[in-house]
Amino acid sequence: MKPDLLKLLDTTPNLHVIVIGEAMLDGYLEGFSDRLCPEAPVPVVTVKNRVYVPGGAANTAVNITSFGGQVTFLSVIGDDSEGLQLKRSLLEQGVSTTDLIVHPGRQTLAKQRAIAASQILLRIDTGTTNAIDGDTEQALIAKLQLVFPQCHAVIISDYGYGILTAKVIDAIAQLQQQHPRILVVDSKNLTVYRHLKVTAVKPNYEQTTQLLKIPPYIPIQNQEISRAEQITPYGEKLLDITGAKIVAVTLDTEGAIVFQGDSPPHRTYTQPTNQSRTAGAGDTYISALTLALASGAATPLAADFAASAAAIVVRKEGTTTCSIEELRLFLSSSSPTPPHSPSPALPLSSSPTLQKNITDTNQLITVIADYRKAGYKIVFTNGCFDILHAGHVSYLNRAKALGDILIIGVNSDNSIRRIKGETRPINSLEDRIQVLGGLACVDYLIAFNEDTPINLIRLVQPDIYVKGGDYTIETLPEAPVIQQFGGVVKLLPFLENRSTTEIIKKIIQNH
């Protein structure tokens, strides 16, 4: 259980969020295919079921309602059957359609998917994608001006299909100047919102590389680095380009990396899922992030909250949402860091009481065997972690990003005394493990009493062994053992001017 995340759930029903953007109708034509079309070499799908749900910005609005928030949804749809179906679907999900503008000259945006044997065979997109006309623009702005002062937060869900015109964006800028609110933007063109005093933006990896004008996946030493590693150095630049206080870059199976001012990047994690028909996870993420920020949560906690909600949605099919009941159950029953808990397919997930701290080496062997069987990459590191500081957090986040599961070997109190002297450790093993366990990047912790973790390494046989400081592979005693099992040694230097020794010196000098 993570109490701080659970407390956030109690704040969402009191929050009013405006969602403005392109409303879409997502359709799923489900059936089977047992023959090819005689006119062309394509499958014939016999439709047995039709499902219609709100999509695009409409799905974001539904997510706000699912979390218990109050939503005002502003958009423009056509006077057509798709528009009627969309309004019906929104009302079924508890979202008012009062503020939807129906324009007889526009066609409602719709995406229909033909599915057979759980495989999407075709998607058909229809609807008007050019900019709304002047009268509609003014009507939309008038509605926005009426509700803006009453809300706690605003989400702009811009798909580039004509709703967020320059005049609408300028109107939001003026309202934000007069009535500052939590303002979160999800757009393919984030630079046009730079002057809005945006609270947060949520680009995905592809959008991020386009913003930075860098190629994806830079090869290093015949290997591709992770997307998180590639993006991490650009945090300050992304904040400058977007003008936002927070930039949350979503990275699919790698989770997300969140930048804010001078703070170290915050990582959240997820695990791969076999579900390939999930749509709208980004809508869930941005909805949860907005509600958490509007409740006053610190950015790392808000990011963990959003990651938890998204972790639920990616295990579902189609365009879907995360309910407040699902999230409460998830946070109550999972390990302290739900964003990167094992997926339901893993044997370990059946044990919700599983703790991060492992005291039995037999349990450690079992845990690792289960993850290996599921195809997960194991990362191992070790250290004293006596007084946890920003250098440690940055180092452990980077270590986690190299694989799927991060296991830390923690020096016992006696081990530290032998290495660093009788005045250390400052914090006991129990306290150090409890603090480390509070980090989202840490999956498991195990203490060792020897001077080196070589015995643990032989048990873990990690895919990647990470070490910090001024080591080289030649001077690292653990390196030959790692290489013996086919593992890779990765050296990650600590942040400059951050060390436990320096902190202790400063304390002594000041007192």
Which positions are annotated as active-site residues? 283
**Cα gap 97→102, rounded to integer Å:** 10
| Backbone φ and ψ of 134, nearest 5° | -60, -45
| Kind of pairing between the strands at 256-260 and 266-268 | antiparallel
Which of 241, 211, 188 lies closest to 56, judged by CA? 188
**Cα gap 511→499, rounded to integer Å:** 19
Which of 222, 204, 191, 386 lies closest to 281, judged by CA? 204
Classify burial at 389, counting beta carbons within 10 Å of its beta carbon; exposed 0-12, middle 13-18, buried 19 or more. Answer: middle
| Backbone φ and ψ of 187, nearest 5° | -150, 150
Contact criterion met (CB below 8 Å) for 234 and 226: no
Sign of CA dihedral 426, 431, 433, 436: negative
How many beta carbons lie within 10 A of that of residue 427, not counting itself?
A: 19
- Tokens linked to 502: 């320096």
**Cα gap 388→53, rounded to integer Å:** 47
**Cα gap 159→34, rounded to integer Å:** 36
Q: Look at residue 495 and give its three-state secondary structure.
A: coil
**Cα gap 308→100, rounded to integer Å:** 30
**Cα gap 184→290, rounded to integer Å:** 7
Q: What single letter denotes the amino acid at residue 472?
A: T
Q: Could you say which DSSP state residue 43 is in?
A: B
Contact criterion met (CB below 8 Å) for 249 and 231: yes
